Structure 1
Amino acid sequence: MNVGDHLCGLYSGDVERDEILLAFIEAGLAAGDKCICVVDGTDPAEIVTRLATRVDSPGFAASKQLDVMSSAAMYLRSGSFAAVEVIGSWKAAMSDVMYDGRFDVVRAVETWSRRDVVPDMQELLLLESEMNRYLPLYPQVILCMYDLGRFGGGILVNLLRTHPQVLVSGMLVKNPYFLTPDELLAADGFRQGGVPRSKPTEAEEWYFDVTTGST
């Protein structure tokens, strides 16, 4: 895992989510990174409590090395979900960290379960794609986590295409179907208000293989 990485993690239910989420944050805190967690469907205070079984999460929160916030607080500041506004929120958060001056790297994690925030799928796809332009602006690593039970397979395949790497069973896998922001915007399906469907069978087979360990 390196600075500038944009990772996609897949999980089923809160227990599996926490296994990945808490380990990711714990490693960041141990490394001295600023850690930002945006959680959907769970009270942020619960994440701090669960993390306390591993580290002094209340202490890290008090020192502002750890920030845990709800998805609504991050993504619905204007009342609706828009990719350009979310990017603006992330830029503001990163600027605050850089101004603080205590942290060399920011480690951020987003969990998506479509419970508190139910985004338009095209806007979400655009957000995830545009994050690849935004990431090089700051020393950061971002892990985007999606609940398999709350997103359909077809949607997840397209979301996977916006991430250069996928986190599966603790291992990073390079995504051969990754689309750059320009490639996504040029795709016929996206221009027509949908999502790109180039080589859907191959992409779906790859998605099935990496998520089930069939490779």
Structure 2
Amino acid sequence: MNGLSLGIPGVVGVRPGTHFCALYSGPDERDRLLFSFLEEGLRHGDKCLCLIDDVEPERVRDRALRPAGPERSPRSAQLDVERASDTYLRSGAFSIDDMMSFLLERMDAAVGDDFGLLRAAGEMSWVLPGPPGWEELFRYESAVNQAVVQMPAILICLYDLQKFGADMLVEVLHTHPRVLLDRTVIDNPHYVDPTEYAPPAELTSGSPYPLVKAGAGRDEVTDRWASLTDAELRIASGVAQGLTNREIAEELYLSPHTVDAHLKHVYLKLDIHTRVELTVLALQHHGATG
């Protein structure tokens, strides 16, 4: 099968067997991504699946299938919309085995109904209350990368940058090989192969782990980001794109020593220690990175 469109202008050449994370800020941006994705699948004749809690399933169906008309009935069979929490927690707790079985069941059903491709989008806010078993989420996200390669499927996990904590978004980046942001698909330089991925100790020890973006500290983080100079912002943008310090230096016509010094100042100002933490903050403030 040739490269496919996601229905998003400029995003073409997507291959079946791909697992994305889509990072967005707020419901308007989510809807632009989600409905473009679903409508392209319907147009292409694919089986489409949407798992979402933040919008009533029937409202999603009505918007994706509009306008009403004789073509709506056959297209209606292409689209399934379900509550994300009912699916991810269908046994009352999150289970990797349950979700893998669910995906395989839907894949088999799509093939049995003569659909050549399954397009599935899962909105991930169901995890924010910390339901039983949620600690296994990123083991699952990592394992999906091995499973989906064998599937005629495109899977997109939807994460709201306004809701999720930086620690959670670090794991999102570790477990998705490709990132969709601002109508651009990025090969994720921070992706960790499933054979090497291990979740942080806080996820396996039962100790507290920040799920949501910290409300009390949000203004402080924003103030710290606003304190970065233009040069520091350009370097942060380069890090978020996966460039090495030497590559950033060449792009900005600086010496590697200057880039190293700027990066140390950025870490101090933001109270962070790693490139992936800087990438998460750059994504959360992507309008400010230029």
TM-score range relative to shorter protein? 0.7 to 0.9
Per-residue displacement from partner, 1:137-176 (whole Å, max 9, x unpaired)? Answer: 3111101001222210111111121000100111100111
CA RMSD of aligned residues (A): 2.7
Say if 1:52 and 1:58, in contact at 8 Å, map to a contact too: yes
- For residue 27 of structure 1, what is the aligned residue in structure 2? 40
Q: Would you say the 8 A contact 1:41–1:115 is kept in 2?
A: no
User: Which residue matches 1:125?
Assistant: 138
Q: Which of 54, 73, 78 is the equivalent residue of 1:59?
A: 73
**Looking at both structures, which has the greater relative contact order when contacts are Cα pairs under 8 Å and sequence separation is at least 6?**
1
| Structure 1 residues 21 and 123, CA gap change in structure 2 (3 angstroms) | same
Conserved 8 A contact 2:53-2:83: yes
Give me the whole-angstrom Cα distance separating, in 1, the residues matched to 2:86 and 2:59.
Answer: 16
Identity of aligned residues (%): 33
Provide the residue aligned with 2:254 in structure 1: none
Instruction: Give the secondary-structure state (helix, strand or coil) at the position aligned to 1:6.
Output: strand
**SS at 1:183's partner residue?**
coil
Which structure has the bigger radius of gyration? 2
Q: In 2, Cα distance between the equivalents of 1:155 and 1:28?
A: 29
Q: Deviations over 1:74-96 (max 9, x none)?
A: 11221211122111111111111
Aligned to 1:37: 50
- 2:31 paired residue among 8, 14, 18: 18
Aligned to 1:208: 281
The aligned counterpart of 2:196 is 183
- Structure 2 partner of 1:109: 121
Aligned length: 209
Q: Distance in 2 between matches of 1:132 and 1:193?
A: 25
| Paired position in structure 2 for 1:149 | 162
Residue-by-residue CA offset, 1:15-49 (whole Å, 9 max, x unaligned): 22111100011111111111111112321101112
Deviation of 1:12 (Å): 2.3
Q: TM-score, normalised by structure 1?
A: 0.85
SS of corresponding position for 2:197: helix
- Aligned letter for 1:168? L
- Give the residue type in structure 2 aligned to 1:208: L
Which residue pairs with 1:68 in the alignment?
A: 81
Question: What stretches of structure 2 of length at least 5 have no aligned partner?
Answer: 1-13, 210-271
Structure 1 residues 19-28 or 106-115, which shifts more?
106-115
